[in-house]
Amino acid sequence: MPFYIFSLILCALSPVLFHYLSLRIYQLCSYRIGEFLHSLSTKKASYFSLGVALPLVSFTILSSFNAPLSVCFFVTLIQTIAVFLFAKLSAKTQLVFTNRLKRFFALSAILSTLLGAVCLIYPPLLALHAQLSAVAFTLSHLILTPLENRRNARFVKRAQEKLNAINPIRIGITGSYGKTTAKNILNALLSTKFTVCATPENYNTPLGIAKTVNDYMKEGDQIFIAEMGARYVGDISELCEIVHPDYALITAIGTQHLLTFGSLSHLKDAKYELIDALNDENNAFFNGDNEGASELYLRKSKGVITGKGQKYGWKDYSCDETGTHFTYYDQTRSVKLTTKLLGKHIPSVISQCVVLAFMLGVSEQSVKNAVFDLKPVAHRLELLYNGNDVIIDDAYNGNESGAKNALDVLSGFNKTRIVVTPGLVELGTRQEIANRELGAYCVGRCDYAVFVGTNAPVLKSGAKEMGEDKIIVVPSLSKASEQLKKIKGDRAILFENDLPDNY
């Protein structure tokens, strides 16, 4: 009897113990089974083989020596716990037990237990409990997904009703990159005159926006700024059904998420969904310093295009240890601005936000003060210090233009310059070309390049002119840290793009 009880307990625990890595990838893929399966297909067999093969092999060996079933169970249980601990410790980001994941785990545990009851009839099947829990995993997704979708719809509807009741001015911001930076800048500018509610951190999905409204928006808020992310055509339209924006900012168009969009044309159409949602297309603001955003402006030539050489633009850019300096100008004013934010792209994004701030009545002095007080966004060209070393944390940046901009920033330091990067992902057929170009861009801008993971060979081929002794290829970030210890002296280290576990 104890064997039967223990075997059912083991099967109940299997979904989280044996499939910790899979659950983490499932969560990172926003519970989308298609993306989840694609991510699994990119992993090496060794990524999962430990959890699947180890119990099976051990059980077979023990059974061949006629070991008691209690011994087989005990060994399998210890191995299960060991696999779980290995997976947990090796994951870059840990599983977040949200309410949705708790419901998923509970159902998986029940289904796994029911499937494990088969072991009562044929005990050797205990060795396959990892595979049985995989079946439970799949069934749980099929059962819960429609229920979760209905639950989410109710949550979104509550947010729509609250937003309509408070009825603030609504601003949507989208782009392949630069969304969060623009949102934070615009929030700082407008907060000098209005009470502003903005989506926090990377809350740029339907549930993220709905949660912002339901949990953070207060009576009396005058402006709502919504960052809008997209990976598929139709995603922005779905967000606009919630927000109904009065103003729109297109920060930049690049190749990020090209894999899920399918083509650059589809990507641009998806971003333009924000403009289509406006009642007045003249309330759209495009970054004219970005080719893709400029192309979207030219579709109808309505709205405002900003940038160097435009009617609303910037000039006289310089950058030093005190920050970035430039002059914003339009038809009626010229304003010298200084900010602690780094990068050649900063005048572009600040100018785009300043235009809207002025149009909404923010004073010139308030703009100057707000720009001067801007703080870097965490993990986006954020300067940190470790003794004599300067750390440039650009871990959340995963686009071609941003990565090259970060290398330009690195090149300006009078120290031993090192870049650590796994390269770029989700670019479809362009991924190999983009990573080779990124490797080539390292030449002359850094003294050492540490390339991490599956993109490393391509990155290295692009950076070959640096010299073999200046290029380090490692399988993981932990190995990269070991190699960094070997490079002595005062260093400036750029961490460019830290990929999560689903890549």
Checking if the pLDDT of 210 tops 50, the result is: yes
160 domain residue, yes or no: no
Please say which residue of 346, 372, 398 terminates a domain.
Answer: 372
Tokens for 323? 């920050």
* 392, containing H or E segment: strand 389-394
203 and 282 fall within a common domain: yes
195 and 265 fall within a common domain: yes
Checking if the pLDDT of 44 tops 70, the result is: no
Q: Domain tally for the chain?
A: 3
Checking if the pLDDT of 178 tops 60, the result is: yes
Number of CB atoms found within 10 A of residue 396's CB: 17
Higher pLDDT, 380 or 441: 441
Residue 156's pLDDT band, with cuts at 50, 70 and 90, is very high
Checking if the pLDDT of 354 tops 90, the result is: yes
First to last CA, the chain: 44
Sheet-wide strand order for 304-306 = 196-198, 223-227, 169-174, 247-250, 284-287, 304-306
138 and 75 fall within a common domain: yes
- Does this model's pTM top 0.85? My answer is no
176 domain residue, yes or no: yes
CA pair distance 328, 372, nearest whole angstrom: 13
pLDDT in tens, 402-453: 899 889 889 888 899 999 999 988 787 888 999 999 999 999 999 999 999 8
CA pair distance 55, 81, nearest whole angstrom: 11
| pLDDT at site 299 | 94
Best mean pLDDT range from 115-119, 213-217, 251-255, 388-392 = 213-217
73 and 200 fall within a common domain: no
Checking if the pLDDT of 217 tops 70, the result is: yes
397 and 364 fall within a common domain: no
Please say which residue of 148, 183, 212 terminates a domain.
Answer: 148
pLDDT in tens, 243-292: 999 999 999 998 878 888 889 999 999 999 999 999 999 999 999 999 99
435 and 289 fall within a common domain: no
The parent domain of residue 362 ranges over: 167-372
CA pair distance 261, 194, nearest whole angstrom: 37
Please say which residue of 118, 148, 178 terminates a domain.
Answer: 148
Sheet-wide strand order for 382-386 = 382-386, 389-394, 491-496, 416-421, 448-452, 471-474
Residue 367's pLDDT band, with cuts at 50, 70 and 90, is very high
DSSP state of 376: P
154 domain residue, yes or no: no
Cα angle for residues 291, 294, 296 (degrees, 5° grid): 115
Checking if the pLDDT of 492 tops 70, the result is: yes
340 and 389 fall within a common domain: no
CA pair distance 364, 378, nearest whole angstrom: 27
* 172, containing H or E segment: strand 169-174
Mean pLDDT, the chain, integer = 84
233 domain residue, yes or no: yes
320 domain residue, yes or no: yes
| pLDDT at site 407 | 93
42 domain residue, yes or no: yes
Residue range 135-150: mean pLDDT, rounded: 90
78 and 199 fall within a common domain: no
Q: Give the type of residue at 484.
A: L
Contacts 24+ apart (CB under 8 A), 112-118: 112/11, 112/12, 112/14, 112/15, 112/136, 113/8, 113/11, 113/12, 115/11, 116/7, 116/8, 116/10, 116/11, 116/12, 116/14, 117/8
Q: What percent of the chain has pLDDT over 70?
A: 80
Residue range 157-170: mean pLDDT, rounded: 97
What one-character-per-residue DSSP string does 417-469 give?
EEEEE----S-GGGHHHHHHHHHHHHBTTBSEEEEEGGGHHHHHHHTGGG-GG
336 domain residue, yes or no: yes
361 and 390 fall within a common domain: no
Chain centroid to CA 486: how far? Answer: 30
Higher pLDDT, 174 or 100: 174
Strands 389-394 and 382-386: antiparallel
What's the CATH number where 388 sits?
A: 3.90.190.20
Are 77 and 58 in contact by the 8 Å Cβ rule? The answer is no
| pLDDT at site 79 | 59
Closest CA to 187 of 430, 377, 4, 385: 377
CA pair distance 297, 317, nearest whole angstrom: 24
Q: Quote the crossing angle between the two packed helices 69-90 and 20-28, to the nearest 10°.
A: 40
Checking if the pLDDT of 502 tops 50, the result is: no
Are 423 and 459 in contact by the 8 Å Cβ rule? The answer is yes
155 domain residue, yes or no: no
Are 449 and 438 in contact by the 8 Å Cβ rule? The answer is no
132 and 230 fall within a common domain: no
Residue 29's pLDDT band, with cuts at 50, 70 and 90, is confident
Residue 57's pLDDT band, with cuts at 50, 70 and 90, is low
144 and 172 fall within a common domain: no
211 and 321 fall within a common domain: yes
pLDDT in tens, 73-107: 666 666 566 655 555 555 556 677 788 888 988 88
CA pair distance 240, 274, nearest whole angstrom: 7
| pLDDT at site 501 | 43
CA pair distance 241, 163, nearest whole angstrom: 12
What's the CATH number where 234 sits?
A: 3.40.1190.10
DSSP state of 194: S
> Phi then psi for 461, rounded to 5 degrees?
-65, -35
Checking if the pLDDT of 7 tops 70, the result is: no
Tokens for 184? 């934070």
Are 326 and 343 in contact by the 8 Å Cβ rule? The answer is no
CA pair distance 90, 169, nearest whole angstrom: 45
CA pair distance 102, 108, nearest whole angstrom: 10
Residue range 325-341: mean pLDDT, rounded: 95
| pLDDT at site 33 | 81
| pLDDT at site 477 | 85
- Residue whose tokens read 């502003």: 196
Residue range 323-335: mean pLDDT, rounded: 94
The residue length of the chain stands at 503
Tokens for 278? 């406006």
